[in-house]
Amino acid sequence: MADASWVPGACSIVGIGTTDFSKASGRSPLTLAAQASLAALADAGIDRRDVDGIVRCDMDLVAPPALADSLGVRDLTYWGEAGPGGSGPAAMVGQAVAAIRAGLASTVVVFRSLNGRSGNRYGLVGERGAVGGDGSYDEFFLPFGMQTPGQFFAVVARRYAHEHGLSIDELSHGLGSIALAARAHANSNPDAQFFDRAMTRDDYLASRMLSDPLRLFDFCLETDGAAAVVVTTTERARDLAGSAVPILSVAQGTGHGVQPGQMFPALLRPSTTSWPSAAAAPTLFGRAGVSASDIDVAQIYDCFTITALIQLEDYGFAPRGTAAGLTDADLSVGGVLPLNTSGGHLSEGYIHGMNHVVEGVRQIRGTSTNQVAGAELSLVTSAPPPGASALILGADR
């Protein structure tokens, strides 16, 4: 449902910041969050004491007041969170816009911080004894062998191939194209974890099968690090030293029949091969007054290659069942849709979607290490299963 009161470009992202991305940060999530936030504030030219709003991911271990205190904030008048998990970052930026537009805050830091490799790791099952209950619905999945996101997405991937009449080899071609494009982009991004490791299609196909049909290079990188952006009004942004990037649109969506619980229950939806992103897409494009064909560059949430592949269809970049036909050249700078130009989760680092927001800003500023010449419309998605969010950034004119 389109909201007539949305004003494209009323707020802007005025600062971006990240930490280094590593496998062992040796720092707490609070330290990482402060480091990324201070970098974003410095980039914006905003005094850290002037922050009055903080939005975090609902899975983050850092509480907004704790970060505010570490930044030396004088008074935090607004805090909020969005998620779940990877569905969060674009929605978190949207929440900052909402707070600013409602007059609840004027300068909002949006961050995600995690020790995703050395701290709490995803994809490990630590549970012992009885699991589930209290609306988690884990009792229908974990004891029956469905235990990790990788296994979940593998079931989805095989179903996708079946529904669209693709052989597993044809599916792997499309998944490989996404992995290869991401890797090539990481190879020219000095901040990416795979800056120094080139990959061929043969390397991809030879990688270890973890949960058939998904192999090692279909999985994102477990990463320690943080990323942050600063949001304020576009009017105020014009007085700042930094380079402001207007937020043309933000949207969230779940669609119908998403099931309670979080990830695994999505296997019980009417369709497992179209995501809540399909519901968010028309709202997103409608609010910006643009269509998919207008988008110059996209940062698509890629916890797994299949996650990005399905979203390419949900957001209208490929007709249903055809995204596996895309080549890595199609998805590279100069191709039909330059995808995940920092390397994304697959090859830059997994900051749970916030690094995608940062790279989306760089593309409009013209400062990406894989710059799309003259990029004016930059899409960032934050993804399924539970719900999806996305944003469109545009050039300030």
Residue numbers at the binding site for other proteins (CB under 8 A): 123-125, 127-135, 137-148, 150-151, 154-156, 158-159, 162, 208-214, 257, 259-261, 264-265, 267-268, 270, 272
**Nearer to other proteins among residue 156 and residue 379 (C-beta):** 156
- Is residue 3 helix, strand or coil? coil
Taking the complex as a whole, how short is the minimal distance between the CB of residue 206 and other proteins, in angstroms? Answer: 14
Residues with Cβ within 8 Å of 60's Cβ and at least 6 positions away in sequence, in order, are 29, 33, 81, 111, 112, 113, 114
The token pair that represents 170 in the structure block:
């044809």
* Smallest separation (angstroms) from other proteins to the CB of 351: 23
Q: CB of 171: closest distance to other proteins in angstroms?
A: 12
Q: Which amino acid is at 223?
A: T
Shortest gap between Cβ of 230 and other proteins (angstroms)? 38
* Torsion of Cα atoms, 242 then 12 then 78 then 226, to 10°: -70
The residue (of 8 and 84) whose beta carbon lies closer to other proteins is 84
Specify the 3-state DSSP secondary structure of 224: strand
Does residue 78 have an active-site annotation? no
Which of 154/227 has CB closer to other proteins? Answer: 154
Instruction: Give yes or no: 160 in active site.
Output: no
Non-local (6+) Cβ contacts of 123 within 8 A are 148, 149, 150, 222
Beta carbon nearer to other proteins, 45 or 123: 123
Given the residues 122, 204, 301, 315, the one annotated as active site: 301
Which DSSP string corresponds to 368-382? -TTPPTT--EEEEEE
Please compute Rg for the chain using Cα positions. Answer: 20
- List, by residue number, the catalytic residues: 301, 350
